[in-house]
Chains A and B, each alone.
Chain A
Amino acid sequence: MPVVFPGMIFIKPVSTITVRPVSGLIDPGYRRGFLLTRYTGRFWLSYNYKFNNHKICLIFENMNPTKTVMRILKYFIICFFLSHCNTDNYSNISSLDREPVIEPDYSGVTIPWNIAPMNFIIREDGDFFKVRVKSSNGLTIEMNSKSGIVRIPKKSWRKILSANRGGKIEIYVISEDNEGKFIRFNPFYINISNESVDPYLCYRLLYPGYEFWRELKIEQRSTESFRKKSVVENQLLNDNCINCHSFSRNDPDKLLLHVRGSVGGTYFFDGKDLIRRDLQAGEMTANAVYPSWHPSGNYVAFSSNKTVQSFHMRPEKNIDVYDLYSSLVVYDTRSNEISFCGMKDSLYMETFPYWSPDGNLLYYCRTDQVGENFDIKNVKYDLVRKSFNQESGTFGNTEIVFNAREIGKSISFPTVSPDGQYLIFTLQDYGTFPIWNREADLYLMDLKNLKADKMSLNSNETESYHSWSSNGKWIVFSSKRGDGLTARPYIAFFDSPDSVGKPFVLPQKDPAIYARMEKTFNRPEFVKGQIKTGPRDFARASKKESVKALWANNRK
């Protein structure tokens, strides 16, 4: 037997397995983990642990290989047998009349039946946790966790969700401390919707920084699993800035995004080709941003903004980003022509265009043109719209939809539901960049009567960058409710203004990742399928000469 120093793990083949079922009394000599003992003049390394409420003691000592293999086989057979035993006999158990604290908070949320496993962390004292996911039709998933991190097996999860559409699942948690005392918590529930969510979510990942950036990427993540893939990364684009990805009606084959810098331009992907276009033409004095695809796919509305940022010196707020001027432009994808949306009105600043699903209306935000000296806190945007003639490609008159200035507020990011019945916007105290406004909340407007109400899904921190799923049943938005700085993608069920589900953060394979992750999720958008282009395609497209858009006469 070689000398084993303290702290050195010396493992030899398994020789002996002892299995002792847990009884009401805890063996005082039992200690979980590795134990190095000296018995009859020889060293023995044992590993004690619990499996399905059975104490298992593995003793490692030198044996011949055949015997070792046999022992290991025997061990697995015992484990298999034990895992199928119903061992709910806790004699040393007490109950707590509350739900366990879990992170992320998934208690009472409504989820699509095709969502990825809702892994979570149990934030309760305990050395060992037993978790059971139980459905009304009797299907169960059982898991054990030492660290409190619960990772639900994907196949079982899918099975239990598919079989319980429209129903709910209960999740039971039992904790055990190092003295063998068990605590049972009240179960928490997760509602399973009949409605599926789009299989992909696309978002930009970046540091919530201010002036500089280093790593930027737009990523697509499967909502049904944890698979993710880069759509574009700036390290292949001379470290340029990438932003404003936008899809036409959640279609992965109709995508555009902006790149700013040496290989700048607006990159259009049509499912096959990726083309770099230069949209700054004619009377445009700034880049095109905040795109919105016309439902026909023939037009894209942008706003052309001159944006600046200023840093606050009180701890309550870091930064304000605002426009010095902005106007709406519309790009015709067929003719490669760009023009102002109607007559350019120098009295107003216009931004955040969004088409109605029928393509007959263009919603956007508008405020008075600021002068040389102005107080950003007095800059407040209203929600307005103007009609659009798809035949002639011309715009009609402008009408105010929501006069936010009247109530001393400002509107950003209007987005209309796919059925055209509702519109969600962000309402904040002032300005045009809600992601830095703590008070920014989502409001739902019924487009039949133009009445808007604050949505129940809001928090005390920023909510913004919302978008709809293709079936209009799910809303995804960025929320900083976690730490006030980094935004996370939250998903909420939407049936009607009175039936909005409690939002849940996009589940992750490692549920602790949000606490560690410094990057922010920007502009999450649902996509109906996988985006069939990638960073290398963008790199190749960036090397080609950009197609310069032509300036056309105004679309009056």
Chain B
Amino acid sequence: MIKFCKIISEGRKTEKLLILLSIALLFIISIIYFYWYGEGIFLYQENKSLFIFSNEYLRKYITKPGGLLEYAGNFITQFYYYPFYGSLINTIFLILFFALLIRINRKLFPASFSILILTLPVILLFFVQIRYTHSINNSLGYLLIASCFLVTISFKRNVNRYITTALYPLFYYIAGSFALIYLVLFIVYCIIYEDKIHKYLLPLYIISISVITFFVYKEIIFLQTGKQLLFYPLPVFDVSRIPVAYSILSISIIVFPLLIKINGFLKLNHKSAALINIAILIILFPVTVLFLVKNYDHNLKILFRIEKSVFRQDWNAIIKIQEKFHSSNSNCQYYYNLALSEKGELCSRMFHAPQNFGINSLMLPREIENLNRAYYFYYAIALIGEAHHLAYESMVLYGYRPENIKLLIKTNLINGNHMIAERYIKVFKRTLYYRKWAEKFENMLYNPELIKTDSELGEKIRLLPREDFFVRPDDIQNIDLVLWANPDNKKAFEYKLARLLLQKDLRAIVNEVKKMKEMGYASLPRHVEEAMLVFRYSIREFPDLGGLYINPDTELRFNNYLTVYNLNITNKSRLESEVKRVGGNTFWYYYQFK
């Protein structure tokens, strides 16, 4: 204790200790959070863009201020392919930001030291980084602001400060709208820290430069609107909707020099200052952890885990996750049904997990926000034209993304458009992590026989519509048309059965069951059997099973289910839970309670 008191009485040493402690805590919390809980952020971000090593890709970004920042961000984002790299990158960014703030503090007011002032912007950046929509280029933007500010204030001679300020147009070009945050920060700094005439001259000087830069960029150099020049690449384009977290973070950076100055004037003795800082540290980091825990969205994590498995076509994993967590998210249910379809188990397993959205968990509504997910359904039922159409629209609207390019390669190979498939394969060949994926399909180029022998593409070719038709806005009609154009398409047929099950249309299911033996079914899928029993029980009519039979096990389960049901029929509060216990994963339960 005496030793501890001795240490805290030595100001500098305490500062160092506190800084090291903060860095260590920040590192541990950040790496643990991002690696174990933030996997979804990396998946989402990595799939939002596709970094291509080409001049054309670069050219797209150099034609607008802030474009280079986005380009750099996209370059970094590609490493999110591995969550460990993602965690490391995000953690390094936080520590770098912290280090820059410490340096700025030392330059501005060496005698002023407050762990709260130093860590607050860093923690705010951390909170911003845990949002899955946060692009790393925004973190880069804030780092650039801090670096540039540090460089500017490092010059002792005023003339050098004027010279560096004259480079503002370059900074604006690189950082885009982040330069505006820097502009306000610099003005605040000048008013507080500069002496005599420079207090007013420097702000006037930088404001003049920025105004001129804005008009030169707008009217002469770049084909950008004023709005684009002012707000790109800030997280949200419309200023009125800039998320609160970004606004607070930006304000905390802007007032940073002011807070340092105020803290410097407080003139606390070393001992009490150190005690306050230790207390803050003790409070701040647990609060941070608490905030992280409170804001952690488990459902979102499940969705991202499922989505990751979709991208890797790991259908077993999707089934396992959804059956374990029973997510109520419509996309999770959609992917679950997709995975079951790919495994050929849609009508025998779909009620093992929740089906809360009726047919919308089989086929997503045709809305723009579903564009990047809807194409998997069409691909699953071999409606390749529509899968290609949506993947192409996604590419036009959102640019190259790994998933839309993958689908464009596959659908073009299936449709025999080898030259176009080759173009997209070449895109992947110029990426870091998708080269290998592309190589498999590169071998198939101009080799239709090889495509037919491929387990995935070959199957789709066999299921392709044999007759032409126009796709309809209603997917129920589309499935009927697919089956009309190729009656052997079992995937589409099971989607139709699944739809009828979800709509509880027993008579329509009976009509479909008649065809199943001819289609090559040796037995009825489990849920279809269950539906047939409900039909028999409720309509009092024996359905025509077209030569197929109901498994005696199913009959037994049905009897058991009925027994439990009849036993609890008088106790409504117990009825559902008891029935769920014996038949929660059956069509019967869905039929009665959903």
The yes or no verdict on A and B being binding partners is yes
**Which A residues are within 8 Å of any B CB, using their own CB?**
207, 209-214, 230, 233, 235-236, 310-318, 320, 482-485, 515-516, 518, 535-536, 539
CB-based contact B423/A483 at 8 Å:
yes
Q: Complex formed: what's the CA distance from A315 to B421 in Å? A: 14
Highest count of chain A CB atoms <10 Å: which of B228, B392, B485: B392
**Given known contacts A214-B397, A484-B417, A484-B420, what 7 new A-B pairs fall within 8 Å (CB)?**
A210-B392, A311-B385, A313-B469, A314-B468, A483-B423, A515-B423, A516-B56
CB-based contact A212/B396 at 8 Å:
yes
Q: Complex formed: what's the CA distance from A484 to B420 in Å? A: 8
CB-based contact B224/A483 at 8 Å:
no
List 10 A-B pairs, Cβ < 8 Å.
A209-B396, A210-B393, A230-B223, A236-B224, A312-B385, A312-B470, A313-B384, A314-B385, A314-B465, A316-B468
CB-based contact B397/A212 at 8 Å:
yes
Chain A residue with the shortest CB-CB distance to B415: A315
CB-based contact B464/A213 at 8 Å:
no
Residues of A with C-beta under 8 A to B451: none
CB-based contact A483/B417 at 8 Å:
yes
CB-based contact B471/A310 at 8 Å:
yes
- How many whole Å from A258's CB to the nearest CB in chain B? 20
Q: Complex formed: what's the CA distance from A518 to B54 in Å? A: 15
Residues A210 and B467 in contact in the complex (CB < 8 Å), given A313-B481, A483-B420: no
- How many whole Å from A296's CB to the nearest CB in chain B? 35
Q: Complex formed: what's the CA distance from A379 to B224 in Å? A: 44
In the complex, B536 has a CB within 8 A of chain A: no
Highest count of chain B CB atoms <10 Å: which of A230, A311, A313, A315: A313
1/0 per position for B423-443, CB-CB distance to A under 8 A? 100100000000000000000
In the complex, B383 has a CB within 8 A of chain A: yes
CB-based contact B389/A318 at 8 Å:
yes
Highest count of chain A CB atoms <10 Å: which of B383, B399, B419, B482: B419
CB-based contact A485/B385 at 8 Å:
no
Residues of A with C-beta under 8 A to B399: 214
CB-based contact B225/A235 at 8 Å:
yes
CB-based contact A236/B223 at 8 Å:
yes
Q: Complex formed: what's the CA distance from A483 to B399 in Å? A: 21
- How many whole Å from B565's CB to the nearest CB in chain A? 44
Chain A residue with the shortest CB-CB distance to B378: A313
CB-based contact B468/A317 at 8 Å:
yes
Residues of A with C-beta under 8 A to B225: 235-236, 539
In the complex, B100 has a CB within 8 A of chain A: no
- How many whole Å from B398's CB to the nearest CB in chain A? 8
Q: Among the listed A233, A310, A317, A483, which residue makes an inter-chain contact with B419, where contact means beta carbons less than 8 Å apart?
A: A483
Q: Number of B interface residues, CB 8 Å?
A: 36
Residues of A with C-beta under 8 A to B458: none
Residues A311 and B470 in contact in the complex (CB < 8 Å), given A318-B385, A535-B223, A536-B219: yes
Q: Complex formed: what's the CA distance from A57 to B457 in Å? A: 52
- How many whole Å from A380's CB to the nearest CB in chain B? 18
- How many whole Å from B483's CB to the nearest CB in chain A? 12
**Which B residues are within 8 Å of any A CB, using their own CB?**
56, 219, 223-225, 228, 383-386, 388-389, 392-393, 395-397, 399, 414-417, 419-420, 423, 426, 464-465, 467-471, 481-482, 485
- How many whole Å from B286's CB to the nearest CB in chain A? 46
CB-based contact B416/A315 at 8 Å:
yes
CB-based contact A313/B393 at 8 Å:
no
Closest 4 CB pairs of A and B: A315-B415, A483-B419, A314-B468, A310-B470
Residues of B with C-beta under 8 A to A314: 385, 464-465, 467-468
CB-based contact B393/A315 at 8 Å:
no
Q: Complex formed: what's the CA distance from A100 to B383 in Å? A: 42
- How many whole Å from A473's CB to the nearest CB in chain B? 32
Chain B residue with the shortest CB-CB distance to A233: B223
Q: Complex formed: what's the CA distance from A483 to B397 in Å? A: 22
Q: Complex formed: what's the CA distance from A210 to B219 in Å? A: 33
Chain B residue with the shortest CB-CB distance to A238: B225
Q: Complex formed: what's the CA distance from A316 to B385 in Å? A: 10
- How many whole Å from A501's CB to the nearest CB in chain B? 25
Q: Complex formed: what's the CA distance from A515 to B424 in Å? A: 11
Q: Complex formed: what's the CA distance from A313 to B475 in Å? A: 13
Q: Among the listed A230, A313, A536, which residue makes an inter-chain contact with B470, where contact means beta carbons less than 8 Å apart?
A: A313
- How many whole Å from B225's CB to the nearest CB in chain A? 6
- How many whole Å from A44's CB to the nearest CB in chain B? 31
- How many whole Å from A515's CB to the nearest CB in chain B? 7
Q: Complex formed: what's the CA distance from A484 to B423 in Å? A: 13
Q: Complex formed: what's the CA distance from A536 to B414 in Å? A: 44
Q: Complex formed: what's the CA distance from A214 to B482 in Å? A: 31
CB-based contact A212/B393 at 8 Å:
yes
Q: Complex formed: what's the CA distance from A518 to B485 in Å? A: 31
Residues of A with C-beta under 8 A to B468: 312-314, 316-317
Highest count of chain B CB atoms <10 Å: which of A209, A212, A539: A212
Residues of B with C-beta under 8 A to A483: 417, 419-420, 423
Highest count of chain B CB atoms <10 Å: which of A315, A482, A483: A315
Chain A residue with the shortest CB-CB distance to B225: A236
Chain A residue with the shortest CB-CB distance to B383: A313
Chain B residue with the shortest CB-CB distance to A535: B223
- How many whole Å from B481's CB to the nearest CB in chain A? 7
Residues of B with C-beta under 8 A to A535: 223
CB-based contact A315/B414 at 8 Å:
yes
Q: Complex formed: what's the CA distance from A539 to B222 in Å? A: 13
Residues A213 and B223 in contact in the complex (CB < 8 Å), given A311-B385, A313-B481, A516-B426: no
Residues A214 and B471 in contact in the complex (CB < 8 Å), given A235-B223, A318-B385: no
- How many whole Å from B533's CB to the nearest CB in chain A? 36
- How many whole Å from A377's CB to the nearest CB in chain B? 10
Chain B residue with the shortest CB-CB distance to A534: B223
Chain A residue with the shortest CB-CB distance to B398: A214
Chain B residue with the shortest CB-CB distance to A539: B225
Q: Complex formed: what's the CA distance from A358 to B191 in Å? A: 73
Q: Complex formed: what's the CA distance from A315 to B426 in Å? A: 22
Q: Complex formed: what's the CA distance from A318 to B485 in Å? A: 16
CB-based contact A235/B415 at 8 Å:
no
CB-based contact B397/A313 at 8 Å:
no
Chain A residue with the shortest CB-CB distance to B466: A314
Q: Complex formed: what's the CA distance from A304 to B128 in Å? A: 51
Residues A313 and B385 in contact in the complex (CB < 8 Å), given A212-B393, A483-B419, A484-B420: yes
CB-based contact A313/B485 at 8 Å:
yes
CB-based contact B386/A311 at 8 Å:
yes
CB-based contact A485/B393 at 8 Å:
no
Residues of B with C-beta under 8 A to A313: 383-386, 465, 468-471, 481-482, 485
Residues of A with C-beta under 8 A to B416: 315
Chain A residue with the shortest CB-CB distance to B392: A209
- How many whole Å from A509's CB to the nearest CB in chain B? 13
Q: Complex formed: what's the CA distance from A537 to B442 in Å? A: 46
Chain A residue with the shortest CB-CB distance to B55: A510
CB-based contact A209/B393 at 8 Å:
yes
Q: Complex formed: what's the CA distance from A320 to B385 in Å? A: 13
Residues of A with C-beta under 8 A to B385: 311-315, 318
- How many whole Å from A422's CB to the nearest CB in chain B? 33
Highest count of chain B CB atoms <10 Å: which of A233, A516, A518, A539: A518
Q: Among the listed B396, B419, B426, which residue makes an inter-chain contact with A214, where contact means beta carbons less than 8 Å apart?
A: B396
Residues of B with C-beta under 8 A to A518: 423
- How many whole Å from B484's CB to the nearest CB in chain A? 11
Residues of A with C-beta under 8 A to B395: 207
Q: Complex formed: what's the CA distance from A465 to B458 in Å? A: 37
- How many whole Å from A38's CB to the nearest CB in chain B? 33
Q: Complex formed: what's the CA distance from A387 to B420 in Å? A: 46
- How many whole Å from B180's CB to the nearest CB in chain A? 20
Chain A residue with the shortest CB-CB distance to B482: A313
Highest count of chain B CB atoms <10 Å: which of A314, A482, A485: A314
Residues of A with C-beta under 8 A to B423: 483, 515-516, 518
- How many whole Å from B434's CB to the nearest CB in chain A? 17
Q: Complex formed: what's the CA distance from A310 to B386 in Å? A: 11
CB-based contact A315/B464 at 8 Å:
yes
Q: Complex formed: what's the CA distance from A108 to B84 in Å? A: 58
Q: Complex formed: what's the CA distance from A233 to B470 in Å? A: 33
Highest count of chain B CB atoms <10 Å: which of A211, A535, A539: A211
